[in-house]
Structure 1
Amino acid sequence: MATPAFEELVEDFEFLEDWEDRYRHVIDLGKAMDPLPEPLRVPATKVDGCASQVWLHAQFEGGKLHFDGASDAMIVSGLIAVLRILFNGLAPAEVGKVDAKAELGRLGLNDHLSAQRSNGLRAMIERIRETAAQEA
Structure 2
Amino acid sequence: MSLPADAAAALQVFRDASGWEQRARLLMQWGERLPPLSDADKCETNLVSGCESQVWLVGQLQDGQWQFSASSDARLIRGLVALLLARVNGLSAAELQQVDLPGWFNQLGLSRQLSPSRSNGLNAVLKRMRELTQ
Normalised by the shorter chain, which TM-score bucket? over 0.9
Deviation of 1:124 after TM superposition, in Å, equals 0.8
Q: Aligned residue for 1:31?
A: 32
Match of 2:117 in 1: 116
Task: Provide, for residues 101-133 of structure 1, a one-character-per-residue CA deviation record: whole Å limited to 9, x for no partner.
Answer: 21221012221122211111111111112222x
Moved segments of 4+, more than 3 Å: none
TM-score by length of 1: 0.92
TM-score w.r.t. the length of structure 2 is: 0.93
Q: Is the Cα contact below 8 Å between 2:71 and 2:78 reproduced in 1?
A: yes
Which residue in the other structure is 1:54 paired with? Answer: 55
Between 93-102 and 80-89, the greater mean CA deviation after superposition: 93-102
- Supply the RMSD in Å over aligned alpha carbons: 1.1
Matched ranges for 1:1-136 at <5 A: 1=1, 2-132=3-133, 134=134
Aligned-partner SS, 1:49: coil
Distance (Å, rounded) in 1 between the aligned partners of 2:20 and 2:41: 33
Distance 1:111 1:125 in 2: 19
Q: Which whole-Å CA distance do the structure 1 matches of 2:55 and 2:62 have between them?
A: 23
For residues 119 and 100 of structure 1, the distance between their equivalents in structure 2, rounded to whole angstroms, comes to 11
Q: Which amino acid aligns with 1:47?
A: V
The percent identity for this pair of structures is 37
Gaps of 5+ in 1: none
Deviation at 1:28, TM superposition (A): 0.7
The answer (yes or no) to whether the contact 2:15–2:109 under 8 Å persists in 1 is no
Matched residues, number: 133
Task: Tell me the SS of whatever aligns to 2:77.
Answer: helix
Alpha-carbon deviation of 1:27?
1.1
Q: Is the 8 A contact 2:101 2:123 kept in 1?
A: no
**Could you list the runs of 5+ residues in structure 2 that have no partner in the other structure?**
none
CA distance in 2, matches of 1:44, 1:83: 20
Residue identity opposite 1:63 in structure 2: G
Aligned mates of 2:81, 2:96 — CA distance in 1:
15
